[in-house]
Amino acid sequence: MTISIYDTLAGKKVPLETIEPGLVKLYVCGITAYDFCHIGHARSALVFDMIVRYMRYRGYKVKFVRNFTDIDDKIIKRAAEQETTCEELSERFIAKFREDMAQLKVDDPDIEPKATEHVPEIIEMIQELIDKGMAYPADGDVYYRVDRLKDYGKLSGRQLDEMQAGARISVNEIKENPMDFALWKSSKPGEPTWDSPWGPGRPGWHIECSAMSRKYLGDTFDIHGGGKDLIFPHHENEIAQSEGATGAPFARNWIHHGFVTIKDEKMSKSLHNFLTIREVLADHHPEVLRLFMFSTHYRTPLDYSEQALHDSALGLERLYSCVAAIGELSGSVGGTSAISAEDREKISGLVKRFVQAMDNDFNTAHGLGMVFETVKDLNRIRQQLPSDPAAEDVEFLQALSCKIRELCRIMGLLTEPAAEYLKNRQQGELAGLAISSEEIEKLIAERKQARLEKNWGRADQIRDLLLEKEIELKDSAEGTTWKITKKG
């Protein structure tokens, strides 16, 4: 069995075949740093975090590069608006991005190069393209000669003439062909600028990724990733630049993830329908957001709603509760063994089924289904355990519980001690309520006394009183516990 991935270039699922056995070279387009990141950016980070973790879980070494674009039209514009420098602005938002990633517990890539730190490599590549006749200087700019690459458009499935028939192409008198795109832009006064053979200027939008991926991963590497909206023109142009300059194939496989939508529309600044990562994290545990993201396949659009996050929070609690309950079990040698061979076999198949699901283009939704199915079985078995469970049974359940944690960790789930998570969740929610845990405990003690006296009226009264304050009581043999009620 091997991992199969949906490759945008091939237009179908292909087996992962790395250039060097056992090593995956991965380049992902990171953010343009000029504003806070929204949850669409979070999806990108989370998806590739999961993909890298899964490939490592499956035994691959992964060299993961994700860049920062820190020079660009939007950055220049925003810096001017805020009366600051491009450098200050981009550094500020790179720092914010790092904070967001830390909150989400996203692992750092191996290399995080910045465009402004690779201007010599960029200039060198542009010069190669000019030397090969693939690009031409014009008035201090340099443009890529799009019709010189025979298969331009192969990634996005477009033909040059079809695109030219479209209405929305920027008119620019100095270009030979309206589809030609800028590799180098001459700088206006006050803009960041670097010296170049074509005069002072700055890199165009796409060239930095070509130059940086080449530097860190070589002319040809395994996988290039990003959001679906980057397919055209960004990734198409990267291919044109890199293959035009090196003559070698660029990335072998392309992974593109879907968007986060709100009310089924793509989040975007112009529609004002985006939520920043920090806004969402203010109200939701990072693992809740992760479970939400991974309950849908990465290529499918994901519609954000508070209801969906709420459902995910319950799902996560279900996972943690199962792990916590199993952690509390203890068995004894010579105790009663009660787990059937059938159950043992079924549950033991979890890892195999999970891997099958994930090998199929990182189908986390399916993989999570396998985990939840096992949780259901584990809960049932635990409930049916005799009062003197055998040590071997308890060990079996605990071993499975460990497996669940191990698999969930690929998605960044169940990373906290279960009891702690459940307790923190409770206290976090309590902060928003009009009652303290001391008061609750006091009422529980009073109710316990009432129940001993079989004063059911008073006992129920206390329970209802707490319920009004959104506290739900649970009686069990070990005593009474409480939790916040699940409200909408």
Between residue 344 and residue 403, which ones bind RNA under the rule CB under 7 A?
357, 360-361, 363, 365-366, 368-369, 372-373, 375-377, 379-380, 382-384
The reply to whether 340 sits near RNA by the rule CB under 7 A is no
Q: Which is nearer to RNA, 124 or 470 (CB)?
A: 470
Site string for RNA, 428-467 (x = CB under 7 A): -----------------------x----x--xx--x----
Residue pair 256/299 in contact (Cβ under 8 Å)? The answer is yes
Burial class of 303 by CB neighbour count within 10 A (0 to 12, 13 to 18, 19+):
middle
Q: Show the tokens assigned to 162.
A: 């079809």
Q: Per CB under 7 A, which of residues 201..260 are in contact with RNA?
A: 205, 226-234, 257-260
Q: How far is CA 84 from the centre of its chain?
A: 31
The reply to whether 2 sits near RNA by the rule CB under 7 A is no
How far apart are the C-alpha atoms of 156 and 163, rounded to whole Å?
11
Helix axis angle, 236-246 to 207-217, nearest 10°:
60
Q: Show the tokens assigned to 348.
A: 């033991």
The reply to whether 426 sits near RNA by the rule CB under 7 A is no
Minimum Å distance from CB 85 to RNA? 20
The one among 90, 116, 296, 401 contacting RNA by CB under 7 A: 296
**Furthest CA-CA distance within the chain:** 95
Minimum Å distance from CB 360 to RNA? 6
The reply to whether 412 sits near RNA by the rule CB under 7 A is no
Burial class of 290 by CB neighbour count within 10 A (0 to 12, 13 to 18, 19+):
buried
Q: Which is nearer to RNA, 43 or 185 (CB)?
A: 43
The reply to whether 306 sits near RNA by the rule CB under 7 A is no
Report residue 42: phi and psi, to 5°: -65, -40
Residue pair 14/253 in contact (Cβ under 8 Å)? The answer is yes
Q: Per CB under 7 A, which of residues 176..205 are in contact with RNA?
A: 205
How far apart are the C-alpha atoms of 372 and 357, rounded to whole Å?
14
The reply to whether 168 sits near RNA by the rule CB under 7 A is yes
Site string for RNA, 3-32 (x = CB under 7 A): --------x-----------------xxxx
Q: Which is nearer to RNA, 225 or 286 (CB)?
A: 225
The reply to whether 266 sits near RNA by the rule CB under 7 A is yes
Q: Per CB under 7 A, which of residues 29..68 are in contact with RNA?
A: 29-32, 38, 40-41, 43-44
Residue pair 144/135 in contact (Cβ under 8 Å)? The answer is yes
The reply to whether 101 sits near RNA by the rule CB under 7 A is no
The residues, any chain, with a CB within 8 Å of residue 321's CB and separated by 6 or more, are 418, 422
